[in-house]
Structure 1
Amino acid sequence: MLRAAAARLRPARPWRLAAEAAAVAVALLVAFPLYWMVLSAVKPAGEVQSDRPRPWTLEPTLDSFRRVFENQDLGRYFLNSLAVAGAVVVASALIAFLAATAVTRFRFRFRTTLLIMFLIAQMVPIEALTIPMFFLMRDAGLLNTLGSLVLPHLAFSLPFAIWMLRGFVKAVPEALEEQAFIDGASRTRFLWQILFPLVFPGLAAVSVFSFISAWNDFLFAKSFIISATENSTLPMALLVFFDSETPDWGGVMAASTVMTLPVLVFFVLVQRRLVSGLGGAVKD
């Protein structure tokens, strides 16, 4: 006990202090754009457009947020974004769970080739596929619909989700599955009542990435929702405040802040599962 107490009283090693200082510096660097976004949202218009920006304000105001919430279509944009992100999260989690179970538990031809194709799909830039996907959505009659936003995000989120969940499914001992069959459990019952709860941390982790990708999307929303403004999503609301001659930067930053809040709420709700999911923890 005395040795443990003495060890706690010893000064930290220089390399550890340096690592902690570097971590704090990186965290501050990453958080600074968020701070500047919120700061610009509460600054008066004169300070936002000033040639000498300051990292503080002595006259905070909510005028920019008032202009955002006065937009009558904001509620519709919010519901559209929620519908798209929710559909992508649920569908990608369900399909990825079943696909990860299949490629892990079953032996079939071209299984390795299929996994390699998942990796290759992740390497293709989204921008390079936007124009071909536009023609694909046009030929399928999905332009100006929310389906044209759900399908691309689902396609891009599935390879990462399947690869991540594959490790969780593989970590569950096969002996557990055999024991469940001996006890009379069917394959379906084992899948949903035993395997699903064990890989749920991984599902939470991939759901966060799928939600953020679909919620913050501007490229597909701008490309596939051309004339039907009633199907526009929340990122499209930024265009209301952007004018090439006199852009309302306060309104843009306020709308961006409002758009970020649901992501933070979703992250807080699943943070415990996310941490264990990224750590690859599987409870027995």
Structure 2
Amino acid sequence: MNTKTSTGKWIGSTAAILIALLWAFPVYWMVNSSFQTTTTINALTPTWFPFPGGTMANYKAVLDPSTGFGTALRMSVMITVLSLAVCIVFAFLASLAISRFKFRGRKSFVLAIILIQMLPAEAMFIAQYKMIAELNLLNTVIGISIIYIATVIPFTTWMLRGFVAGVPADLEEAAMVDGCTRFGAFMRVTFPLLAPGLVASAVYAFIQVWNEFALASVLLTEDASETLPLWLRDFAQPSAYGPIPWGQVMAGSVLVAIPVMIFFLIVQGRMTQGMVGGAVKG
């Protein structure tokens, strides 16, 4: 029995490792190609390791002020920070309302959240464009942030609702018996338990806004207002003087992905702290 169990675990671990390697290979190939010249990338024999022989020229070319990378980065950061902050606040309050309080129209509100998720985003592009155009908010941070917030809030609310519903209200009542106010009981007992949910929702919202391309291509039509996905699209266009500089395109892709990885590493620690803190206070 022990031998069969060990064999099963070994097979499962091996399969998990192989799947992880298969999943990570495109990311590795992107990073590997970012250190190679276009000639090396287009060669028939693939180069599996960037060094020795790699170059930082691709990154220098991408970070040159003439490429517009800095402008696109600033635009993406402003849109993401604004959308994420507003989305988390409103989604958190909405999830508390539908999980902790009973009011008229509560079931209809929950049903509306589900139905909104079923609508294809592309079907609303024209209406969204006309609305933002009439408000004179095309090619602005505020204009596209309004649409992003409205797009992300429903699913984020649904995610947070599950976390809020999973925290018993009895914990707050017990804290209130011990002398805490309702707000104090919520902040000291319930809120730390909800920290993992807030982090998970923030990660989802961040990735959705940071990587969004289709809607941005409709509402942000000027070069000065491009986000990083739009900038990368234009940067990858072939020039009249030669082939597509794939090394620079891969370098740009790496730089676009780095903020997402940094954000996840930061909130991963916060998630662990929130889980431990909530368990102690509970």
Normalized against structure 1, the TM-score is what? 0.85
CA gap 1:14/1:129 in 2 versus in 1, 3 angstroms: farther
Contact 1:97 1:165 survives alignment (8 Å)? yes
Corresponding position: 1:48 with 2:41: yes
Corresponding position: 1:238 with 2:232: yes
In structure 1, stretches of 5+ residues that fail to align are: 1-6
Corresponding position: 1:95 with 2:90: yes
Q: Is the partner of 1:199 in helix, strand or coil?
A: helix
- Structure-2 separation of matches of 1:115 and 1:184: 34
Match of 2:259 in 1: 262
Contact 2:236 2:245 survives alignment (8 Å)? yes
Corresponding position: 1:63 with 2:60: no
- Equivalent of 1:119, from 93, 114, 122? 114
Corresponding letter in the other structure for 1:39: N
CA gap 1:74/1:244 in 2 versus in 1, 3 angstroms: closer
Q: Which runs of 4+ in 1 moved over 6 A?
A: none
Corresponding position: 1:163 with 2:149: no
- Structure-2 separation of matches of 1:142 and 1:28: 44
CA gap 1:136/1:105 in 2 versus in 1, 3 angstroms: same
Corresponding position: 1:134 with 2:135: no
RMSD: 2.7
CA gap 1:153/1:51 in 2 versus in 1, 3 angstroms: farther
Task: Give aligned-pair identity as a percent.
Answer: 33
Residue deviations 1:4-29 (CA, integer Å, cap 9, x gap): xxx7xx67433322222221122112
Corresponding position: 1:109 with 2:104: yes
Q: Work out the number of aligned pairs and report it.
A: 274
In structure 2, stretches of 5+ residues that fail to align are: none
- Structure-2 separation of matches of 1:170 and 1:282: 15
Q: Is the partner of 1:211 in helix, strand or coil?
A: helix
CA gap 1:13/1:125 in 2 versus in 1, 3 angstroms: farther
CA gap 1:105/1:85 in 2 versus in 1, 3 angstroms: same
Corresponding letter in the other structure for 1:270: V
- Structure-2 separation of matches of 1:156 and 1:50: 43
Normalized against structure 2, the TM-score is what? 0.85
Match of 2:199 in 1: 204
Contact 1:40 1:48 survives alignment (8 Å)? yes
Corresponding position: 1:27 with 2:20: yes
Match of 1:4 in 2: none
Contact 1:241 1:247 survives alignment (8 Å)? no
Corresponding position: 1:148 with 2:143: yes
Match of 2:220 in 1: 225
- Structure-1 separation of matches of 2:158 and 2:118: 14
Corresponding letter in the other structure for 1:90: A
Contact 1:241 1:248 survives alignment (8 Å)? no
Contact 1:241 1:249 survives alignment (8 Å)? no
